[in-house]
Amino acid sequence: MKKFSSKRSVQILAHVLKSYGIVDIVVSPGSRNAPLAIHFGEMDEFNTYSIVDERSAGFVALGMAQCEKKPVAVTCTSGSAAANYYPAVTEAFYQNIPLLILSADRPSDYVDLFDGQTIRQNALFQQHSYGDFQLLEDGEEDAEDHNFQLIKKAVELCIEKQGPVHINIPLAEPLYDLVTELPEFPSIEKTLKTRSYEIPSNLIAEWNTAKRILILTGTRSYSKELESQLSQLVKNHSVVVLCETNANLYHEKFFGHIDRYIYNFTEDDYQTYAPDLLITLGQNVVSKKVKEFLRKAKPKNHWHVDEHWQPDTYFALTETIRTSPENFLGKLLNFVNLEPSSYYNLWDVLRHKKETKHQEYIQQIGFSDLLIFKLLSLKIPEGFNVHFSNSSAIRYAQLFEFRNRRIYCNRGTSGIDGSTSTAMGFAIKATNPTVLVTGDLSFFYDINGLWNQYIPPYTRIVVVNNGEGNIFRIIPGPSKANGNILDEFIATKHQKTAEHLAKHFGFGYVKVDDDLTLNRVLDHFFKPDNQPKILEIITKQADNAEILKRYFQTLKD
């Protein structure tokens, strides 16, 4: 016989979530949130997942929501447990991934009395959430009606904003009283808001008079519709489309690998290649160089198209377009002229020159981080979901073609802290296999991302272990530090490997440290097996930073 929580606030919460199709609940262990764990765990309509570490749990839920494109709920006990969600909350906030944070709490009059596991949880995430709500406790006046409406508002806000929303739930003891029957709750009248958009006539005029139109696409999930629309725009060489690997857009006339082209731009080049109309789609871009280029280019007009964010990233914003790129371009294509442009040819000549230099250099490099990413671009099977960790991994990925894979990276805040957990959360819900390509520091930082029982056997992890945070040998600045300081406190050199961790968490494990073995291993690594696998590639012996610097110097020369 099933037994449910007797807490009315929990019963109402489950009813509302079920009504909106929010069925995935990530639970971290605790007593204060036991009513939620019991209730969701007993209801057939919900999928519950036990993740012990709340910091990891937040990112696991984020990866699940990223995959499913709908809200995922996380719930934990009171006190510091909820604070551990904060890194994932900030990432979800800046990526617009819908997370519903359900933090159990002590009764509100226990706050600041030095009662166990009691902190100021109400509005804990207010700087990085789209809404913070606190339920009334069972037995308070009008608690049921109030909580019903408040939860409904929170859920609809999470869906509309596609971002994190927090519900704090005070729960008094006893926590383990159960019932075998649930009351009949009223049906919910959904009041989700939709926003219409019509293109102002002045934008059509700006497009039709512009001679140099540049479209820059940042981080976003794959969209066949958007890819098709942009393909129409480049068909006659009317515009230049720059896109990064994690924009998930591919066409022979799109310009990927942005840093290849603009790495050595001079002050004169900033003006030579400057657009007069810049249109940005999506969110964060990885390339620091493209930000520098466009800030110095000072385009006459800059339109940013996004449902949620309108940042003036390039200090030239003239139009905020609050709709999806697909909706905007679908309407725009009905009105604008698509005439051939010499601006496209200018960029195309640059592309061919840099592509030749790229191929010449790549063909002659030895075993190194750079070679690994070339091989991964060739060997990862089509159809895989590829998650890159931050710092070096996502930057190397920008230099190669990952066509026919879906690319993801936590570029909302660009931290290394939850890359593994996010990828594992995504893998749990994905139909196609997922591979995480990660640096060593990012991997070891987030090893609790492997501490769950739901990771599918076809999941793969590639750890590029160069024995440190090699990014600090690449970017300008850190080399000015004393060598010992750089080694210990910035690059943080180490001797760790993933071998024992793989065994501990039930992963298969392969280690390689030369290119011949790597080529042979990669041919088999992605084939189906009865357990997830880790491939660790040791590159400590290679001068990775110098090889990458020479690569860019070759492009410059």
Tens-level pLDDT at each residue, the chain (557 residues): 899 999 999 999 999 999 999 999 999 999 999 999 999 999 999 999 999 999 999 999 999 999 999 999 999 998 899 999 999 999 999 999 999 999 999 888 777 677 768 778 899 999 999 999 999 999 899 999 999 999 999 999 999 999 999 999 999 999 999 999 999 988 999 999 888 899 999 999 999 999 999 999 999 999 999 999 999 999 999 999 999 999 999 999 999 999 999 988 999 999 999 999 999 998 899 999 999 999 999 999 999 999 999 999 999 999 999 999 999 999 999 999 899 999 999 999 999 999 999 999 999 999 999 999 999 999 999 999 999 999 899 999 999 999 999 999 999 998 889 999 999 999 999 999 999 999 999 999 999 999 999 999 999 999 999 876 677 676 677 666 777 776 667 667 788 899 999 999 999 999 999 999 999 999 899 999 999 999 999 999 989 889 999 999 998 87
Q: Which two tokens stand for residue 324?
A: 């999806």
Q: Model pTM?
A: 0.95
The whole-angstrom separation of Cα 411 and Cα 246 is: 9
What is the reported pLDDT for 542? 87
**pLDDT in the model for residue 479:** 67
Helix (H) or strand (E) run with residue 346 in it: helix 342-364
Q: Is 383 helix (H, G, I), strand (E, B) or coil?
A: coil
Return the half-sphere exposure (C-beta side, CA atoms, 13 A cut-off) of residue 275. Answer: 29
- Go through the chain and tell me how many residues it has: 557
Nearest to 299 by CA among 282, 281, 318: 318
Task: Please tell me the predicted confidence (pLDDT) of residue 78.
Answer: 87
Strands (E), 171-315: 178-179, 213-217, 240-243, 277-281, 301-305
Residue 323 DSSP one-character state? S
Please provide residue 44's backbone torsions phi and psi, each rounded to the nearest 5 degrees.
-65, -25
Q: Measuring CA to CA, which residue among 362, 367, 363, 359 is closest to residue 518? A: 367
What is the distance between the alpha carbons of residues 375 and 354, in angstroms, rounded to a whole number?
Answer: 20
